[in-house]
Each structure stands twice: as C-alpha cells, then as structure tokens.
Amino acid sequence: MDSIVEIELWRLLAAYIFLVLLLVITWRLGVGREKEIVISAFRMTVQLIVMGYVLVSVFQVNHMFISLGIFALMEVFAIRNVYSSIKVKINVKLRRVIVFSMLLGTGIPVFFFLVLVINVNPWYEARYFIPIAGMVIGNSMTGIALGAERLINGMKAKREWVEGALMLGATPFHAAKAVVNDAFNAAILPTINSMVGMGIVFLPGMMVGQILSGVSPLVAIEYQIAIMLGILGSISLTVYILMQFGYKSFFNQWSQLEI
C-alpha cells in the first residue's frame, strides 16, 4: 500500500480557506466572534506545530523518563481540566480521590495495553506510549468529570434520602448506593453508546490516521478495537475507584452527611 501523500505548504495554507469562510459568515451574521475565532485558530496552529517538533525529538531520544514525564504532564492537565469542568464546588477529600483514581485508573490500563496487548518493546517506546496514554487519559478525564459532577449533584438532590437511610441504621455505603450507581452509569454510558455507532456513523480518529498513513484497514481496526476496549477498561476502572472512595468524602467520622 502507498505511503501517505505529503501535504505541500501552500496546499496546507489553502485549507485555511475554511477559516476565512467561517469569518465571513460570522461577520455577515454580526455574531461578533471574529476575534475569538482567529485566536483559537492561531492557538491550534501554534500548539500543533510545537507538539509536532516536540514529538519528533521525543521519538528520537525515546527515553523512559521522557515518556513517563509526558505521562505525568498529561495527568496534571487532565486533572486540572476535571476540576475546572465541574461547575459545582468539589470538597478537598473528593479532589484527592479524583487524583488517585486518575493515576491508578489510567496507569494500569496503559501499561497493560502496552505490555500485554500490543507487546511493544521497550514498553516506553514513545511512538506507542504517548498517543495511547493520551487517548486513555483524555477519555477517562471526560468520564470522571461526568461521574464526579453527577455524584456531587446526586448527593445534594438525594440528601433527604441519604440522611433518611442513615436514620434507619444504614452504613454510608448503603445510604449512598443509589446515588453512586447513578453516577457510575452516567459516566460510562457515553462510551458504551459511542461503541454502538463506531464504524458505521463515524470512523474513529486513530483508525483514520493509520489508514491515511498507509496501514491496512484490517490492521487499523485491530488497533481500534484494542484501544476502544482499553479506553472502556480505563473509564470503568477510573470511575469505579472514584465511586468506591468518593462517596466517603461526603461523610464525616460519625457517618454524618456533610455537604
């Protein structure tokens, strides 16, 4: 199979015609978002160029600590993103649980995936490690943000129920169970739904990339199936850890509900 057609610079610049089109439309409509659009497009361009050069040198050096360092950096950004995307107040204990579940819930599947499923040697091979970690962390980030927000809101909305169960002698675990289950469902449902449409409604980005770069679609789907399961595992594990420890952050040492 042919390898990928390289895009010449002037042809890439031609793609910016779509941006110009958007600017003309917003200007005509009088929406007043021109400045934001230009800044966003500029940031996208610069960030990707920088990332391109960074990845080229990271792939060349291919050192364990660099791979792990990038992994850590991605975790930091993901966790910050979770905090800022949740619109309600997150208590300190729950913040800690979020960090813990992200690290453990994404770390285990990433290493399992690299070592057992793809069997990369060495396991920190940057060309595999970084994109796979990125996909797993990015998806778990969305899942945990959904789950944590649902957990906080659920505890508030079902406050009387939870307290009522405590009055009947329930342990915090039993009292919070309905809220926890609901939050877990909310967090994993989008992933389950996206698996249903996969291959029919849309072709996932990783698979498209591989096909464009000349990989056989049959190999590309192998990777896609494997990464999809890896993402599913990571989201389940991350959200499960979040729920197992997260509900406790709403109770004090006397098993009283504190919101």
**Looking at beta carbons only, is 3 or 253 nearer to other proteins?**
253
Contact region with other proteins (CB under 8 A), list: 12-20, 180-188, 190-198, 250-258: 250-258
Question: Angle 92-112/217-246 helices, nearest 10 degrees?
Answer: 150
- 175 binds other proteins per the rule CB under 8 A: yes
Tell me the C-alpha distance between 66 and 222, whole Å: 28
Please list the residues that pair with 62 across neighbouring strands.
none
Decide if 148 contacts 98 (C-beta within 8 A): yes
Considering only residues 136 to 165 of the shown chain, the ones binding other proteins according to CB under 8 A are 160-161, 163-165
DSSP 71-96: HHHHHHHHHHHHHHH--S---HHHHH
Token duo for residue 221: 């789907």
Contact region with other proteins (CB under 8 A), list: 28-36, 53-61, 82-90, 248-256: 248-256
- 176 binds other proteins per the rule CB under 8 A: no
Contact region with other proteins (CB under 8 A), list: 67-75, 140-148, 169-177, 196-204: 169-177
Tokens 């050096």, located at residue: 61
Q: In this chain, which of 14, 46, 255, 258 binds other proteins, going by CB under 8 A? A: 255
Decide if 224 contacts 204 (C-beta within 8 A): yes
- 199 binds other proteins per the rule CB under 8 A: no
Q: In this chain, which of 170, 195, 203, 206 binds other proteins, going by CB under 8 A? A: 170
Residues that bind other proteins (CB under 8 A): 160-161, 163-171, 174-175, 254-256
